[in-house]
Amino acid sequence: TELLRAVVASLAAAERPDRLGVVLVDGRDGIGTGAARGEGLRVCTDIPHVTTHLVANDPVRMREFAQSLTAELKRRAELLGRTDFAQWHAGRAGSGRVVAQRTSASGDIEVPPSSTLRLRPGAAGRHQAETAPPLARLVVVVDDLDALASPSLGSPGRPAAGSVMRALEAVARDGERLGVHLVTAAGTGGRTAETEPARRATLRVVLDAPQQGPEEPAPGRGLLAYTDGRAVGFQGGRVTGRIPRTATQRPTVVPLDWQRMGDPPARRPVRELGNGPTDLALLASAVERAAREVSAARVPSLL
């Protein structure tokens, strides 16, 4: 879960919210879990790129999400045609730099007797369509995919888990060409390896089990494997751990007695450690301010 949060934070730091939308899905219903575990991916909803957050505990909402995600794939397929997402964007970028010359006979400008120019009816609508924002890339992040593939008997979202899985399988099968990508996390074993997202995965991450000891793997350490057999070790960051509150304070000037000069600096009180904001919250605030400065509109929600 923490690795998925770090992935969402990295995506938000790399792209504008009007060019990238993030959809979060918590596969477990959160019932019977601790407060920290029950949050799941909800802590990422303050990031402006996040458009939708689904928890697998409401069958009606889950079916609505599956229908909306499937409809989004169909809409993109009709819009892109036989071209893929990258080629479509490249074509729009090339055509956007060339503006055809308009004539008064077939253009949108009337030539009145005075020196005032007036737009004909319908010109504003065509101008709005021409300047519409480009099709945004969409990333669907799913935690606990195994809970959706094999829901427990007492899970409230069990009746609609199949609908969500079919929509996610469609993303894994056709999403790359349409600009919709899938990032999932699941436990080992079970039926997850037999699902379409697992079979079509181009990158796989295996996290090491954290153990006690200075030489043992730290939490978030693992191996990134490619389809060609290459593997790269990495250390994931912890973005939801609370930092010392004094780390975010501005520098201050305090009086220093000359008799204390040369003494080692006073240690911070223990009560100040760990009660500050998280790195994820600071990033969400900074990205939100940056999005407002450039008037970046958010990608519409699926729900």
Quote the CA–CA distance of 180 and 186 in Å, as a whole number.
Answer: 20
Spans of all domains in the chain: 2-85+133-240+277-293
Quote the CA–CA distance of 115 and 54 in Å, as a whole number.
Answer: 56
**What does the H/E/C string look like for 65-105?**
HHHHHHHHHHHHHHHHCCCCHHHHHHHHHHHHCCCCCCCCC
Strand, helix or coil for residue 149 = helix
pTM confidence score: 0.77
Helices and strands, number each (H, E), in the chain:
9, 9
Residue pLDDT tens, the chain, 303 long? 999 999 999 999 999 999 999 999 999 876 544 434 458 999 999 999 999 999 999 999 999 999 999 999 999 999 999 899 988 888 776 554 433 434 444 444 444 454 444 444 444 444 444 444 568 999 999 999 999 999 988 889 999 999 999 999 999 999 999 999 999 999 877 788 889 999 999 999 999 888 777 777 778 899 999 999 999 999 998 899 887 665 555 555 667 777 877 777 665 444 444 556 888 999 999 999 999 998 988 999 998
Both tokens of 35, joined, read 């407060």
Output b/e per residue, 116-148; b: 16+ Cβ within 10 A. Answer: eeeeeeeeeeeeeeeeeeebbbbbbbbbbbbbb
Quote the CA–CA distance of 206 and 220 in Å, as a whole number.
Answer: 10
pLDDT of residue 129: 40
Of 46, 97, 81, 62, nearest in space to 281 by CA: 46
Report residue 191: phi and psi, to 5°.
-90, 5
Of 268, 184, 269, 283, nearest in space to 237 by CA: 283
From residue 102, give the alpha-carbon distance in Å to each of 48, 106, 109, 110, 119. 39, 7, 9, 12, 13
Look at the domain 2-85+133-240+277-293 and name its fold: Rossmann fold (3.40.50)
Of 169, 134, 168, nearest in space to 299 by CA: 134
pLDDT of residue 185: 94
